[in-house]
Structure 1
Amino acid sequence: MKTTPLFGDFRLRPLRADDAPSIFTAIDTQRTYLGRWLPFVASTLRAEQTREVVARMLSDTANPVYTLRAGEDFAGLIGFKSANPATRTIEIGYWLREEYQGRGVMTAAVQALCDIAFSQMEMENVEIKCATGNLPSNRIPQRLGFRLDRVELRGELLSDGEFADLNVYRLAR
């Protein structure tokens, strides 16, 4: 399975079924940190749920997903979602374990996925949606030259029961 080097010992590797235990462990051990902005964390209570989600991701060939690796360790997930063949637009979603934040890992990974979207998938637009209050996540598309396209008011229900507005960033080919 092909991996994509990012920098140092960080790399992207296509998601595999046997990644599910590492993904669940990351969620289970970092519930407070990850759960602030990722609504699925609160409802991910068993490893079997993660195995089912990974299986669904692997069956969706239009929207490939990758693990972020630090050496052999699982650092996070990044992938495509909501591919729209009619407009040739695709969204990138991502999350990273707390101990890997602030190193430029996700910025490098998003750049790599943009390259894949434009050169291999022949997309015209890449979108990233970030809760307006999630400043670290917002800085990634800003650093990479995405423009703020729109704000989706009350675009995502967070696990605390509050709705978050979403900044929708777009990068055109």
Structure 2
Amino acid sequence: MTILLFDCFALRPLRPDDSGDIFRAIDSQRDYLGQWLPFVALTRSEEDSRAFIAASLSDPANPVYTLRADGLFAGLIGFKSADPAAGSIEIGYWLREEFQHRGIVTAAVQELRRIAFEELGMCRIEIRCGTGNLPSNRIPQRLDMRLDRVEKQAELLSSGEQIDLNVYVAEK
């Protein structure tokens, strides 16, 4: 089921046939996406994207969606680290460079927040962003999510740099 966000932008549940789109997006934008996303360096073939999709689809507690613009693949957004007992879940996202600054991820996070609270029964949502990744940090800030903490040296980038992560929280 496709979920219209606004204008020509939509969410569509991840499918096995998305592997080519995902790999081509990562492969064509390695420098851009790889600045903040460690998995970019590890995604070397479409088979790697197929493995990611298979793992994602085998974890129904953490649904993943493709971001679409006029039906074209624009990026991914989804849930991870669901803890139903604690009522908490994390949202992660990435977007191809040419689709940046159009509000698509902000609208998609709003929709995933609704899904997490209303459909999945969660009471806490977290988003983690590299402290230096200002565009990514602006999304939870725009949505009035509270900066809960900074996790020191929490992520190793493919460049070998260990970075701090801002952890934003929304609670029901």
Q: Name the TM tier (shorter chain).
A: over 0.9
| Matched residue, 1:7 | 6
- How big is the shift at 1:71? 1.4
> Could you report, residue by residue, the CA deviation over 1:19-40 in whole angstroms, capped at 9, with x for unpaired residues?
0100000000000000000011
The aligned amino acid for 2:41 is: A
1:10-89 mapped onto 2 (5 Å cutoff): 10-89=9-88
> Could you report, residue by residue, the CA deviation over 1:138-169 in whole angstroms, capped at 9, with x for unpaired residues?
00000001000111000100010011100000
- Runs of 4+ residues over 2 Å off in structure 1: none
- How big is the shift at 1:70? 0.6
1:160-171 mapped onto 2 (5 Å cutoff): 160-171=159-170
Aligned length: 172
> Could you report, residue by residue, the CA deviation over 1:82-129 in whole angstroms, capped at 9, with x for unpaired residues?
001121000000000000000101000000000000000010001000
| Matched residue, 1:147 | 146
RMSD over aligned Cα, in angstroms? 0.5
Normalised TM-score (structure 1): 0.98
Distance 2:71 2:171 in 1: 33
Normalised TM-score (structure 2): 0.99
SS in 2 for 1:63: coil
